[in-house]
Amino acid sequence: MKSARKPKLRPGSPKDAPQDVPGLAVRQVAAAIVDGVLRRHRALDELLDSADAKAAVPGLAALDERDRALARAVVATVLRRLGTLRHLLGRFLEHGPPPAAPRVETALLIGAAQILFLAVPDHAAVDLAVRLVQADRQAMHFAGLVNAVLRRVAREGAALVAGLDAPLLDTPPWLMARWIKTYGDATAHAIAAANGREPALDLTVKRDPQSSAAASAAAWAAQLGGRVLPTGSVRVVAHGAVTALPGFAAGAWWVQDAAAALPARLLGDVAGLRVADLCAAPGGKTAQLVAAGAAVTAVDRAPARLARLANNLARLSLSAELVCADVGTWPAEQQFDAVLLDAPCTSTGTIRRHPDVPWLKRAVDIAGLAGLQRRLIARAVALTKPGGTLVYCTCSLEPEECEDVIAELLAQEQNIRRVPISAADLGIDADMVTPTGELRTLPCHFPDADSRLAGVDGFFAAKLKKL
């Protein structure tokens, strides 16, 4: 049986693409963000949520909250399923997308993502993708190609995608190879599969002075229609803007992945202690420590990120000393009872929430960051009082940024000892603690019958004592 003929790159018939077509503005913003990530190598958060995002992305400022959420969903789906989408489109394009007109591939990715993975009618997805290329001078002559390919996606795409190994396709080969080497084939595949699912919203609840922490979390879980995880975080399947949820404006809780909430708890009872939170922005751990009664000095080198931290603390009615400085050279006047270092890393444990990460990071980035992490942890040791506690953590899955950093530190520093972590104390399963007593969560941990409530960020943390 002969296969269907692939359409060739033949010019279509361009026509006007009026800007007031319903839904077109959202797709234009989505296309600009996809191009920003894939072609200009800019981070998704930078294009969506930074102070200059609206200036960097034409049309973003004009979108209301609902349209902005739709644009985010389209972009996230394209990035989360990029390997699958490119593989599928490659079967329908004889010579691949035209390199001189990058907006053609962008329009095809956005159209195919909506057809296959989002609840957008096929005809609307096709029409809006065609209009995207018609509005681009370099791409306008390929409108007929885009129309033909997406119609084939609508007819044949779902059946073809069902037969693909999506987790393998949607993970860059260099990254999958690393995970297989570190965690084994089955776990690496489970990590990749978890990264392909949109994550739930995790919240850390500020304790109500009139009740216990557990009761406060349970009350907000009930109000938001969520559940309390064994770790104490509240997990919610949220629809719409986070800022519109009950409790946000009142500062009753803050957004923080359940795994990201664990490292601060490793410091134990910090009430009355002086604690340094290094590389602190956006401030979830700072808020935990302040809410637990610590006098916190939060240090971050990025003014914009520190301003965001300040805004978050203000909303929560919490206060800390904020210092804009490079942790590696910060001349602190005195040592601290406890230090928490959340070191810069490749963030490969957060792909569920940041689907741009695998397409922006490279294997060579790991070595450079590992060098930085070693310098920062040496500074963190110097900032810790004798007898004090130091917690080192990253959201990386790569051993060079995690276990290897601690092993090297312990080999070089005779006055540092590892304090084994107790799974029971954190409310986690024993397989989330390594044989040497360090925290290691994986995106495939926290399974749930409801896939919308499954998974957690990949995090590493080690608890250390300075003798």
Number of domains in the chain: 2
Residue 354 and residue 249 in one domain = yes
Q: Among the three residues 113, 148, 164, which one is the final residue of a domain in this structure?
A: 164
Task: Lay out the sheet containing 234-236: strands in order across.
Answer: 227-228, 234-236, 201-205, 253-255
Residue 11 lies in a domain: no
pLDDT in tens, 322-336: 999 999 999 998 999
Residue 359 and residue 438 in one domain = yes
Residue 217 and residue 327 in one domain = yes
Extract the tokens encoding 146: 């885009």
Q: Among the three residues 164, 182, 217, which one is the final residue of a domain in this structure?
A: 164
Residue 190 lies in a domain: no
Residue 153 and residue 239 in one domain = no
**Listed residue (284, 260, 263, 171) closest to 456, CA to CA:** 260
Residue 213 and residue 319 in one domain = yes
Q: What is the CATH number of the domain that holds 152?
A: 1.10.940.10
Can you give the residue range of the structural domain that contains 250? 201-466
Residue 378 lies in a domain: yes
Residue 302 and residue 410 in one domain = yes
Residue 65 and residue 137 in one domain = yes
Residue 341 and residue 237 in one domain = yes
pLDDT in tens, 411-451: 999 999 999 999 999 999 999 999 999 999 999 999 999 99
pLDDT at 58: 87
Q: Which of 103-107, 165-169, 173-177, 209-213 is predicted with the least confidence, judged by mean pLDDT?
A: 209-213
Residue 53 lies in a domain: yes
Residue 336 and residue 444 in one domain = yes
Tell me the three state secondary structure of residue 356: coil
What positions carry a catalytic annotation? 395
pLDDT in tens, 233-267: 999 998 888 999 999 999 999 999 999 999 999 99
Residue 342 lies in a domain: yes
Residue 381 and residue 252 in one domain = yes
Q: Among the three residues 140, 164, 188, which one is the final residue of a domain in this structure?
A: 164
| Category of 437 on φ-ψ map: left (φ > 0), alpha (ψ -120 to 50) or beta | left
pLDDT in tens, 115-164: 999 989 999 999 999 999 999 999 999 999 999 999 999 999 999 999 99
Residue 19 lies in a domain: no
d(CA 351, CA 197): 10
pLDDT at 51: 66
Residue 387 lies in a domain: yes
Q: What is the CATH number of the domain that holds 327?
A: 3.40.50.150
Residue 258 and residue 406 in one domain = yes
pLDDT in tens, 49-95: 776 777 778 899 899 989 999 999 999 999 999 999 999 999 999 88
Residue 349 lies in a domain: yes
Residue 275 and residue 397 in one domain = yes
